[in-house]
Amino acid sequence: MATNRETVLITGASSGIGEALAWQFASEGNALVLVARGADQLASLKNAIVKRHGVKVVTHPADLSLPGAAEKLHKSLQGTATKIDILVNNAGVLEQGAFAEISGDNHQRMVQLNVAGLTDMLYQFLPPMLQRGHGRILNVASIAGFMPIPGLATYAASKAYVLSLSEALAEEVRNSGVSVTVLCPGITATNMLAKAKAGNSVFDRMPGILVSDVEYVANEAYKGCMNGAAVVVPGSLNLAATLTARTLPKWLVRRFNGLVGRATIEH
């Protein structure tokens, strides 16, 4: 029986971690607003979720890398008097390879979506939550946000931004009734990994123990978000990597990642 307890907006909901989070929140009786570019994927996900869980699901196809997209989405939801209780900023893109060999457009797309789009979503949806004294935000960063990574330089920098912004906001809004959680997954079996594997055989040779299951990651994220945890790193190996990166001297982390990162760049 559906309870529609809260309304959860999930970006990048059409596949991977976002889709798994959509199923997780729906299974708890929440209503969903699903956002991604692919209208057809969103529509079939909506049908499947409504059929299984009977919750209210609305889809909003949008390219969040475009300036003004978050404002347009916010206005459109205001028009239907839809209040967002939980915002999941999950949409993100990754390009791997030597910095100079990634196209300028692809660098910009990472910055526009992972950094600018996410910030604009927060700017649109956080103030109404603060006014109501109620809400939750789940931003998706990565363990890559804890350290510079040659071969993933722009992507890792974009996730460092998400991690830093989220930790700052978690403290800024403490005691406001709104919580901010940042999810930092390690390598997870999604389309993003499949694309990285197709572009670089090093990813194909990665030991399975390093790859997390998407439902596990979504479940850990859900629990952390609902508990108001500031930072969630699913998996003990990933947690060890982030603790090590925060404990060791920066120069040592940089040089170690330099050795590993340069070895993974295929020309």
Tokens of 116: 């600018």
**Rounded Cα distance, 17 and 14, in Å:** 9
CB contact at 8 A, 209 and 237: yes
C-alpha to C-alpha distances, 239 to 38, 137, 173, 246, nearest whole angstrom: 33, 21, 25, 11
Residue closer to ligand NAP (CB basis): 211 or 265? 211
Residue closer to ligand NAP (CB basis): 4 or 191? 191
x/- map, 56-75, ligand NAP, by CB under 6 A:
-------xxx----------
Q: Is 38 in the site for ligand NAP (CB under 6 A)?
A: yes
Q: Which residues pair with 9 in a beta bridge?
A: 33, 87
Beta strands in 37-94 (DSSP E): 57-61, 86-89
x/- map, 165-204, ligand NAP, by CB under 6 A:
--------------------x-xx-xxxx-----------
> Pick from 59, 90, 124, 154: which binds ligand NAP (CB under 6 A)?
90
Q: Is 88 in the site for ligand NAP (CB under 6 A)?
A: no
- State whether the Cα torsion 161-196-236-10 is positive or negative: positive
Catalytic annotation present for 222: no
Tell me the Cα Rg of the chain: 18
x/- map, 118-157, ligand NAP, by CB under 6 A:
----------------------x-x---------------
- By C-alpha distance, which of 235, 212, 213 is closest to 224? 235
Stretch in the footprint of ligand NAP (CB under 6 A) among 9-17, 74-82, 130-138, 247-255: 9-17
The residues that touch ligand NAP, with contacts defined as CB under 6 A, are 11-18, 36-38, 41, 63-65, 90-94, 113, 140, 142, 185, 187-188, 190-193
The catalytic site residues sit at 155
